[in-house]
Every structure is written in C-alpha cells, then in structure tokens.
Amino acid sequence: MPVSATQPVLVGHGKNAVMILNELRPGLRYEFVAESGESHAKNFVMAVTVDSQVFQGSGRNKKLAKARAAQAALSGLFNMQLDQTPSRQPIPRDGLQLHLPQVLADAVSQLVVEKFSELTDNFISPHARRKVLAGVVMTTGTDVKDAQVICVSTGTKCINGEYMSDRGLALNDCHAEIIARRSLIRYLYSQLEYFLSNSPEDHEHSIFRRCEQHGYQLKDGVQFHLYISTSPCGDARIFSPHEAAVEDQGDRHPNRKARGQLRTKIESGEGTIPVRSSNTVQTWDGVLQGERLLTMSCSDKIARWNVVGVQGSLMSYFSGPIYFSSIILGSLYHADHLSRAMYQRVADMEELPQPFTLNRPLLSGISNAEARQPGKAPNFSVNWTVGDQGLEVINATTGKDDLGRPSHLCKHALYSRWVRLHAKLSQTLRIHVAQPTLYHEAKQGAADYHSAKQTLIRAFENAGLGAWVKKPIEQDQFSLTQ
C-alpha cells in the first residue's frame, strides 16, 4: 500500500482549522448542539454541516468545540490534519488495512460510545455511570462503514482479596479494558462453536476458517480495534495525566529510570504503584489474612497482549495469536508514553517462538478528546458482548453480581466452553494433549504460549523494569466438577 494512502496531508501552523475550512467551503454556519458537566468541568458540543455531512466537535468552551468540529470535517472530507505536535500524532501500523488513521480512530470511538448509549437508555440508566469506557470493534475490510461493535465495558476497580474464588467464579480485575478483552475471548468462543455443527453452511458464519494443517485462523481481513476512553493505568498514564497541549513536544525525560516500570493496581483503591523487585509471589493465605491483593496495571497487561495475543492460553489450542490492529484512546493520548508502555519498552526481547511476535498496533487519539469524568468512581463494572440482550452488571469488590452469581466472563464459565470445544474438535487442534482435568493444567498445556509469556517477563526484568506479579496459584487449581 503506498504511504500516501495512509498518511493524512499535514497543514502548517499558520492557520487554524476554522480558517482553512472556511477557505475550502466559504459561508459555513456552526450550530451549538449541547452543553454538559458541572460548572468547573463544562463540555460544549458544536456542529458544522459540510457537503451534507454533519461533523461535531466538543471542548471545554464553544471556541474549542467549533475548532474541533472544523478539524473533524477537514479530516473526514479532505484527509487533512493540522500539523499537530509529535505527542498528538497517530503512530501508524504496518499492514493496517484501513486508510486514514484519524478517520478510523474517530469511527471506532463513535461506534463504542453509541453502543453504550443504546445499552444505557441514552446514558440515563444508573449503570451509565462510569469513569472509563472500553470496547472492541471488528472490521472485515477496508471500509470503516462495515465495522461492528463486538463488546463494550466499564469499570476501574479490582476484587477485594477476601472474595477471591478457588473455583474460578469471581472476576479479579474489573478495569474496563480488561473486561473488554475477556468479552472478546467470549466472542471468539462463540465463533468457534459454529464448527460444532456438522453443516458447512454454519461454518461459513464464523470469523474463523479451518487451517489446512491444524487449528483455525481468522478469515482474511478480520481485524480488532481496542477503544479505551482514557489512557490505560500504569506506565501509559502515570507521566501524562493531562491532555497534550498544542506546544507539547513529547516526553522531555525519556531516559528517567521510572519510565517503563511495571506497576500494580492496589486492592480497594485506585491508581498504581511500582512493583517490588523481589517477592512477587502472592500466597492465598497471605491475602486472606489481609495482605493487599496486587494486580498488574492495564498498561502492563496490554503490553503482554501485544506479545502473546488477546486470545489467552486456552484459545491457543485452536488458534494462533490474535493481536489488536489498533489501540485508540478517547483522552490523554500521548504518543511517546503510549508507544513506550504498549511495546517499545520490551523491544529488545529475545526471539519469540513462532508464530508469536511483538505486535505494534496503530496508536491514536481521537479528534474530539472526551471530557474528564470527575467524581467518585462507581463500584460496579458492566459488560455486553454482541448477542447479549442487555448489560451484565458486576460488583467489582466481589467479582460477582449483586445476587452472588458468577459472571459469564469468569474463568469457570470460559473454561466450561473450552472443555466442550476441546472434546468435540479434538481432531483439529493445534496442540494435542490429553483432556486436562484442572484449569491450571489446561493452561500449562499451551507450551508455546507460555514460552512467549516467559520471554516477555524476562524482557521486563532484563530492561530493569521489575518482576511480573502473579496471583496465588490456588486460584487456578479447579476442575468443572467441583
């Protein structure tokens, strides 16, 4: 693909978006659409209609909203970007099939927000309250118009240690992007389940196709895009808690020791802390006696997905690694910090086992950065996957719903689907081991996956970025008959 197809035309600093658009289409009128937020955190939305298409922009005042509406029109109709500072430029990806990174990013963001609006009664439902919204969008070709929202989720909290489950029935981490990835795995299982049918017509409905040798792979053109309404906690966010200013020239201190460090979320709180260099093994009895349960930050987990894939170890029996083609942030996008956190800090990794690789997805902000969500974070997390009737609501403290029922995203639920597929599709697996009893054994059977994961963990340690903190091993020592 020629570079020009993916690179927007950059326009110098001399003129602003409103002036340039006015030269291209004189006499345009901007309309005030909406105003929201408290007095200290107002958000205005303005719209402009160009060539019978409506473009919206939002910002903390009407002038900024108008400028962003004009920028959206320039980007969408004329493939023009104002010459943004380095820290706000999208970082392209090799092989991304869709042109115009900014148009893709804005479309993915809009699709996720619209789906969440639809699921929460136009944001009126009590479960619309959230700090962070995430979602995964699937594209199947070069046109964003064919995109489909696969899942949406919210949440910013982790389980309280006393509610840990040794039967895989509680969700440990209810941060929105972590829940979005579990929802995507659930969707991938539903797509493999088409192959349980004896009818070739049913097989055609799946996004997977049978490989000639063994296993399954995504059909040509299928790509997944992760949207998060703000930068993921940990290394991507810690040094850039504010929107990039126009004059922001990127990270001025890229070599500071704190850059790139592994960090953990803390139980019953928000924010992250650097990992200790030793004693990264957590024990079941220690946590139950009151030691704080530590969970790796979202930045660190996404970096791991960029090596081992989003599909997890169990899905590796059926499919090779599946990587996000793009990661799009609704706010706090800083190119330097995000690229470092997502993959750059482990670029000196040893060779990975085939077919694993270090994935470098498209990274981008959106034209109209989402307003900050002030106020106390709710204690619940919601999730929806395509095919669901409505939202599932989970109490993040207990990892279950308010009636004590396990989530359809919990380890036990996903493992039971895996066991069924493993039994029925055993002739076509990529990995041949006897049907395991314990969840832990099933995961360990994916040898190449674990080799890739260990290579990543060594890369962090060799770069002086800390040691990966593991959950107590008792969490995974369960079978479905318990």
**The CA-based dihedral angle spanning residues 367, 105, 34, 127, taken in that order and rounded to the nearest 10 degrees:** -140
35 included as an active-site residue: no
Residue 34 phi/psi, 5° resolution? -160, 165
Torsion sign (Cα): 132, 133, 135, 141: negative
Torsion sign (Cα): 38, 176, 459, 93: negative
Geometric angle at alpha carbon 115, from 182 and 327, rounded to 5°: 55
H or E stretch including 342?
helix 335-342
The CA distance from 269 to 295, in Å, is 12
Instruction: Give the residue carrying structure tokens 């792979």.
Output: 217
CA distances from 229 to 156, 160, 176, 332, 333 (A): 12, 25, 9, 9, 10
Q: In what order do the strands lie in the sheet with 133-139?
A: 362-364, 324-329, 223-228, 133-139, 148-154, 380-385, 392-395
The CA distance from 230 to 331, in Å, is 5
Residue 338 phi/psi, 5° resolution? -70, -45
Contact 174, 157 (CB under 8 A): yes
Helical spans, DSSP H, in 354-446:
411-424, 439-444
**Residue 77 C-alpha from the chain's centroid:** 28
**Closest C-alpha among 375, 398, 382, 131 to residue 268:** 398
Count of C-beta atoms within a 10 Å radius of residue 40: 6
Q: Which residue type occupies 235?
A: D
H or E stretch including 114?
helix 101-119
Contact 382, 155 (CB under 8 A): yes
H or E stretch including 450?
helix 447-462
- Give the chain's radius of gyration (CA, Å): 23
Q: Which residue type occupies 13?
A: H
| HEC letters along 163-231 | HCCCCCCCCCECCHHHHHHHHHHHHHHHHHHHHHCCCHHHHHCCCEEECCCCCEEECCCCEEEEEECCC
Residue 152 phi/psi, 5° resolution? -135, 155
Contact 86, 337 (CB under 8 A): no
* Active-site residue (options: 177, 267, 370, 392): 177
Indicate which residues carry an active-site annotation.
177
